[in-house]
Amino acid sequence: MLKKTSTDLARSTTTSPRGTALLHDPLRNKGTAFTLAERAALGLEGLLPSHVQTMAEQTARVLENYRHEQTDIEKYIALVSLQDRNETLFYRVLLDNLEEMMPIIYTPTVGLACQRFGHLFRKPRGLHISYEHRGRIADVLRNWPEPNVRVIVVTDGERILGLGDQGEGGMGIPIGKLSLYTACAGIHPAQTLPVMLDVGTENEEYLQDPLYLGLRQHRVRGPAYDDFVAEFMNAVAEVMPRALVQFEDFANINAFRLLETWRERACTFNDDIQGTAAVTLAGLLSALRITKRALLDQRILFLGAGEAGIGIGELIVAAMVDAGATDAEARQKCWFVDTKGLVVKRRTDLAHHKLRFAHEHAGAPSFLAAVKALRPTAIIGVSTVAGSFDRDTIETMAEFNERPIVMALSNPTSKAECTAEQAYTWSKGRAIYASGSPFPPFTYHGKPLVPGQGNNAYIFPGVGLGVIACEARRVTSRMFAAAARALAGQVQESDLAIGRIYPSLKRIREISAQIGAAVAGVAFADGLAGVGKPDDLLAFVKSQMWEPIYEVHAR
Secondary structure (DSSP) of 57-101: HHHHHHHHHHHH-SSHHHHHHHHHHHHHH-HHHHHHHHHHTHHHH
User: CB-side exposure of 402: number of CA atoms within 13 Å?
Assistant: 6
Distance, first Cα to last Cα, the chain? 24
The 3-class secondary structure across 370-408, one letter per residue, is: HHHHHCCCEEEECCCCCCCCCHHHHHHHHHHCCCCEEEE
pLDDT at 145 over 60: yes
pLDDT above 70: residue 11: no
354 assigned to active site: no
pTM of the model: 0.93
Closest-CA residue to 505 (of 93, 97, 76): 97
Q: Which tens digits make up the pLDDT trace of 434-489? A: 999 889 999 999 999 999 999 999 999 999 999 999 999 999 999 999 999 999 99
pLDDT reading at 5 higher than 80: no
Q: Give me the half-sphere count of Cα atoms (radius 13 Å) on the Cβ side of residue 326.
A: 3
Distance, CA of 300 to CA of 380 (rounded, Å): 7
pLDDT classification of 207: cutoffs 50, 70, 90: very high
Instruction: Look at residues 340, 287, 331 and name the one whose alpha carbon lies nearest to residue 310.
Output: 331
Q: How much is the pLDDT for 15?
A: 67
Sorted by sequence, the CB contacts under 8 Å of residue 367 that are 6+ apart come out as 301, 303, 337, 388, 389, 393
Given the residues 4, 30, 177, 415, the one annotated as active site: 177
Catalytic residue among 66, 91, 106, 424: 106
274-455 CATH: 3.40.50.720
What DSSP letter does each residue of 326-382 carry, written as one string? -HHHHHTTEEEEETTEE-BTT-S---GGGGGG-BSS---SSHHHHHHHH--SEEEE-
**How much is the pLDDT for 197?**
98
Q: Is 386 left (phi over 0), alpha (psi -120 to 50) or beta?
A: beta
CA distance 419 to 433: 9
| CATH number for the segment(s) 19-95 | 1.20.1370.30
Question: CA 198, CA 129: separation in Å to the nearest integer?
Answer: 6
Residue 3 has pLDDT above 70, yes or no: no
- At 245, the pLDDT band (50, 70, 90 cuts) reads very high
Q: Could you tell me which CATH number the domain at 105-266 has?
A: 3.40.50.10380
pLDDT digits (tens, 9 = 90+) for 97-112: 999 999 999 988 999 9
What percentage of the chain reaches a pLDDT higher than 70? 97
> Which of the four pLDDT bands, split at 50, 70 and 90, describes residue 554?
low
Tell me whether residue 106 is one of the annotated catalytic residues.
yes
Residue of 411, 407, 386, 409 lying closest to 162 (CA atoms): 411
**Topology agreement, domain 19-95 and domain 274-455:** no
Compute the distance between CA of residue 213 and CA of residue 168 in angstroms, rounded to an integer.
6
Query: pLDDT band at residue 10, thresholds of 50, 70 and 90?
Result: very low
Average pLDDT, the chain: 95
pLDDT single digits (tens) 148-189: 999 999 999 999 988 999 999 999 999 999 999 999 999 999
Residue type, 122: R
* Residue ranges per structural domain of the chain: 19-95, 105-266, 274-455
CA-derived radius of gyration, the chain: 24
What angle do helix axes 72-85 and 55-68 make, rounded to 10 degrees?
150
**d(C-alpha 510, C-alpha 76), whole Å:** 26
For residues 415 and 413, give the distance between their C-alpha atoms in angstroms, rounded to a whole number: 5
Q: What pLDDT digit, counting tens, does each position of 248-305 carry?
A: 999 989 999 999 999 999 999 999 999 999 999 999 999 999 999 999 999 999 999 9
The answer to whether 146 and 193 have CB atoms below 8 angstroms apart is yes
Say what the pLDDT of residue 412 is: 85
What is the tens place of the pLDDT at every residue in 315-324? 999 999 999 9
Each residue of 360-393: pLDDT tens digit? 999 999 999 999 999 999 999 999 999 999 999 9
The answer to whether residue 243 scores a pLDDT higher than 90 is yes
